[in-house]
């Protein structure tokens, strides 16, 4: 009897391994087949989708694609929402409403809601669950449900080279300059100058940089040492493979 039980357990474990491999292999195939690119757009017809840009599967809510332009080599994570207009089926005119520059990264679960123009500059990286919107609820009449009052819209502009941390929120009318860092969970409204770091809710500037003074307040960690000129990728890989004793 113990031998039979062991045989049954081994057979069950073998079946689970086979099933697990099949499920993971099938899901990998589905994710690859369901990804959206310029060559394989599926049912989505963007105003532009650049070379090397990829929307991971499964996608979030996407509509108003005709007024959405995606630059080259963008990475759009799973379950990312991209919308132009308040609802599907609207005619939004001749110009794009939502524009992503080249090399933009939108992390998993992020939302970009463009009821009026939203522009995200090239090489801006967003962590997961970032929320960027050009629309906010109004609360003019305290006797009416907030959700039934007509919303207000203001354009949003995010400059190139920015970094938005996990869970950051960018509200209507926000204008972020070049190479701005938005801390995780920050809520941004208004104008943020170039080379600033903002944090908090509402976000405030906690660090700035300029040519004359550098970082103010000074960084708490030393600046990284640049890679010497002439070092090849093969040499860098060889260094990475060294053990602590060899280094």
**pTM for this structure?**
0.84
The backbone torsions φ and ψ at residue 3, rounded to the nearest 5 degrees and listed phi first, read -65, -45
> How confident is the model at residue 195, as a pLDDT?
97
Evaluate if residue 223 carries a pLDDT over 90. Answer: no
- Spatial distance between the Cα atoms of 48 and 99, rounded to a whole number of angstroms: 9
Report the percentage of the chain scoring pLDDT > 90: 66
Q: Per mean pLDDT, which range of 39-48, 106-115, 167-176, 180-189 is the poorest?
A: 39-48
Evaluate if residue 170 carries a pLDDT over 80. Answer: yes
Evaluate if residue 244 carries a pLDDT over 60. Answer: yes
> How confident is the model at residue 131, as a pLDDT?
98
Side-chain-side CA neighbours of 204 within 13 Å: the count stands at 1
> How confident is the model at residue 247, as a pLDDT?
56
Hey, which residues are catalytic here? 137
Q: Per mean pLDDT, which range of 1-15, 26-40, 141-155, 181-195 is the poorest?
A: 1-15
> How confident is the model at residue 14, as a pLDDT?
76
Taking all residues of the chain, what is their mean pLDDT, rounded to a whole number? 91
- Highest mean pLDDT out of 20-24, 71-75, 222-226: 71-75
- Highest mean pLDDT out of 26-35, 40-49, 101-110: 101-110
Residue of 52, 170, 48, 38 lying closest to 97 (CA atoms): 48
Evaluate if residue 58 carries a pLDDT over 90. Answer: yes
Side-chain-side CA neighbours of 19 within 13 Å: the count stands at 6
- Taking every pair of Cα atoms in the chain, the longest distance, rounded to a whole number of angstroms, is 83
Strand partners, 170: 132, 188
Instruction: Say how many C-beta atoms besides its own lie within 10 A of residue 13's C-beta.
Output: 10
Q: What is the mean pLDDT of residues 41-53?
A: 93
DSSP code for 36: B
Evaluate if residue 89 carries a pLDDT over 90. Answer: no
> How confident is the model at residue 13, as a pLDDT?
78
Q: Which residues are within 8 A (CB) of 38 and not within 5 positions of it... i.e. 6 or more apart?
A: 49, 50, 51, 53
> How confident is the model at residue 155, as a pLDDT?
97
3-state DSSP call for residue 24? Answer: helix
């Amino acid at each position: 009897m113990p031998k039979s039980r062991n045989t049954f357990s081994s057979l069950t474990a073998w079946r689970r391994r086979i099933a697990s491999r099949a499920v993971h292999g099938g899901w990998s195939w589905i994710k690859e087949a369901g990804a959206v690119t310029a060559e394989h757009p599926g049912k989505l017809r963007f105003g532009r989708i650049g070379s090397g840009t990829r929307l991971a599967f499964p996608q979030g809510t996407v509509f108003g694609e005709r007024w959405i332009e995606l630059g080259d080599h963008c990475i759009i994570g799973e379950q990312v929402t991209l919308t132009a207009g308040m609802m599907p089926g609207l005619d939004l005119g001749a110009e794009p409403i939502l524009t992503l520059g080249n090399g933009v990264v939108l992390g998993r679960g992020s939302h970009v809601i463009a009821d009026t123009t939203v522009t995200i500059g090239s090489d801006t990286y967003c962590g997961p669950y970032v929320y960027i919107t050009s629309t906010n609820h109004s609360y003019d009449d305290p006797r009416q449900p907030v959700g039934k009052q007509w919303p207000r819209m203001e354009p949003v502009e995010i400059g190139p080279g920015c970094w938005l941390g996990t869970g950051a929120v960018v509200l209507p009318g926000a204008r972020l300059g070049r190479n701005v860092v938005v801390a995780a969970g920050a809520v941004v409204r208004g104008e943020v100058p170039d080379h600033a770091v903002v944090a908090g809710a509402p976000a405030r500037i906690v660090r700035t940089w300029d040519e004359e003074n550098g970082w103010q307040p000074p960084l708490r960690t030393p600046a990284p040492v640049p890679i010497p000129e002439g070092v090849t990728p093969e040499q860098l890989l060889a260094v990475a493979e060294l053990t602590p004793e060899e280094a």
